């Protein structure tokens, strides 16, 4: 692997993870079903069935059910932003220190998430991970489509804007569909956050082992 200059991170289950964070993320499915119920005028049971159908068809992305509805994406964006983070997200000094070390070593750092920008920053703030460490911060802006959304468009834009070679960029994330596959399609280096090894793509269990991975694989 060529020397990496820019490391991009997903937020949910990548930078912000652990038992407390898992309780926070468990709110997402029910919140989505409530949003579908309200917008489609169906019962919660019917909304769950709709969400489950889309989750199965789109690799867990049940929010796709809202894309064809007027203001559906905006309502879902606002619903996510309404969730409080402080009762769930604890201080994550190890993540802040890791990122600070990477910055000190000369890496540029970026965030790219399909979550609302304001919510991603709120999560990082609750975890006391400084957003100033990131030279790139791309999230879901209200009234617009999710920046990743399972396509490689945003990764292509990053390559164009930074004028880096794809081989000089590493995308780190937990989702194969929205983090790994689109970045890999752009010839970026990828690193899948997952508890079990993936034979198709490099895998680590959490970003805590990222510095060791880089040391072992960069030439």
Q: Give yes or no for residue 219 having a pLDDT over 70.
A: no
Distance between CA atoms of residues 131 and 149, nearest Å: 23
Segment 186-213, tens digit of pLDDT: 999 999 999 888 778 999 999 999 999 9
pTM: 0.93
167 — pLDDT class (breaks 50, 70, 90): very high
**Each residue of 41-84: pLDDT tens digit?**
999 999 999 999 999 999 888 999 998 888 899 999 999 999 99
DSSP string of 132-171, one letter each residue = GG-SEEEEEPTTS--SSTTSSHHHHHHHHHHT--GGGEEE
190 bridge partner residues? 171
**% of the chain beyond a pLDDT of 70:** 99
Question: Per-residue pLDDT tens for 111-140?
Answer: 999 999 999 999 999 999 999 999 999 999
Contact between 190 and 180 under an 8 Å Cβ cutoff? The reply is yes
């Amino acid at each position: 692997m060529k020397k990496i200059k820019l490391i991009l991170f997903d937020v949910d289950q990548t930078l912000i993870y652990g038992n407390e964070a898992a309780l926070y993320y468990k709110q997402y499915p029910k919140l989505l079903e409530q949003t579908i119920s309200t917008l489609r005028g169906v019962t919660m049971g019917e909304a769950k069935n709709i969400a489950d159908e889309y989750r199965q068809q789109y690799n867990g992305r049940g929010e796709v059910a809202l894309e064809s509805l007027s203001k559906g994406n905006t309502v879902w964006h606002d619903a996510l932003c309404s969730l409080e983070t402080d009762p769930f997200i604890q201080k994550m000094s190890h993540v802040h220190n890791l990122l600070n070390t990477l910055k000190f070593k000369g890496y540029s750092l970026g965030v790219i998430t399909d979550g609302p920008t304001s919510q991603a920053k709120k999560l990082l703030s609750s975890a006391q991970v400084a957003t100033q460490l990131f030279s790139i911060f791309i999230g879901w802006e209200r009234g617009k489509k999710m920046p990743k959304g399972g396509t490689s468009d945003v990764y292509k834009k990053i390559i164009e804007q930074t004028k880096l070679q794809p081989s000089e960029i590493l995308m780190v994330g937990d989702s194969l569909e929205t983090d790994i596959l689109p970045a890999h399609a752009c010839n970026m280096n990828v690193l899948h956050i997952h508890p079990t090894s993936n034979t198709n793509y490099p895998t680590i269990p959490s970003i805590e082992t990222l510095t060791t991975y880089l040391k072992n694989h960069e030439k």
